[in-house]
Structure 1
Amino acid sequence: MSEFELDGRIARDSDLIATLDLCQLRIQNDSRWPWLVMVPQRADMTEIFELSEADHALLSAEVNHVAAALKEITCATKINVGALGNIVRQLHVHVIARFEGDANWPGPIWGYGSAEPYDSEKRQALVNTLMEKLSR
């Protein structure tokens, strides 16, 4: 059995903010949307259905917890949750806060414009608020 290794594209485009029981919780470096990426720390996984029953339940619980916290702290119109993996095959789940009137609302975020990196203070404020909410 091989060891978990984070795909280099996920590592390049996001920063680790917490390690949960199953997932790495990462923030995408694109300030247009509060955008989190959750990566189950299991080797060679590409599909949710490949997870064990226990890991599948844990992934669902972690995603729900993070999505609810993100919705509450951002007052988002909608939380988008998706595990697409067409380009980066490693199993990962996107949790994105969307707002009416945001860049490309109501269309998808993928392939729209160019990423706008966070100002470090704004990024840290979001991370701190999220982590505070998740710890309750």
Structure 2
Amino acid sequence: MDELELEFKLHPQLKADTWVIGDFPLCRLLMMKDANYPWFILVPRRAGVTEIYHLSAKERAQMIEESAELSETLADLFMARKMNVAALGNMVPQLHLHHIVRYEDDVAWPGPVWGVAEAKPYSDEQVTSIFKKLDVLLEGELDFILEIDAP
């Protein structure tokens, strides 16, 4: 573990809005507490990183690999019509990459999801089911380590 990973702390807003699922070699995988959309976030475990260009070339490549693996897994698991992947950071400066599963009948289609609907809570059973499925699908993928902190 390098110094930047030792100093890594999840931004308070991300911590409040998500559950931790686990870690890829570079990024922590989070799930948004919003059942309107299957919505996941990758956060590089590097202190002080606010932009993708703050990562080394090797880390940028690793983040893209993790993002691609996650996108494919989510698209298959949730039978996505489209995967929205975005890094905004206007409200939360810590670098994080949203992975949102979209459907033509979701509340925000075809526009962006931000500010469209109030967050809808998941049931404990829904969260447990999603985490179990992700654990099976991500097991062994890019050295993913499950580390659930959900209800």
Q: Which has the higher contact order (CA 8 A, sep 6+)?
A: 2
Correspondence 1:8-23 to 2 at 5 A: 8-23=12-27
Seq. identity, %: 38
Q: Which among 82, 86, 107 is matched to residue 82 of structure 1?
A: 86
Unpaired runs of 5+ residues, structure 2, are: 141-151
User: Which TM-score applies when normalising by structure 1?
Assistant: 0.96
Matched, 1:105 2:109: yes
Unpaired runs of 5+ residues, structure 1, are: none
Correspondence 1:17-96 to 2 at 5 A: 17-96=21-100
Q: Cα distance, 1:5 vs. partner?
A: 1.2
Q: Cα distance, 1:62 vs. partner?
A: 0.4
**CA-atom RMSD in angstroms:** 1.1
Q: Cα distance, 1:85 vs. partner?
A: 0.4
User: Which TM-score applies when normalising by structure 2?
Assistant: 0.87
Q: Cα distance, 1:60 vs. partner?
A: 0.4
| Residue identity matched to 2:103 | F
Q: Secondary structure at the match of 1:37?
A: strand
| Partner Cα separation in structure 1 for residue 90 and residue 120 of structure 2 | 22
Q: Number of residues paired by the alignment?
A: 136
Name the counterpart of 1:124. Answer: 128
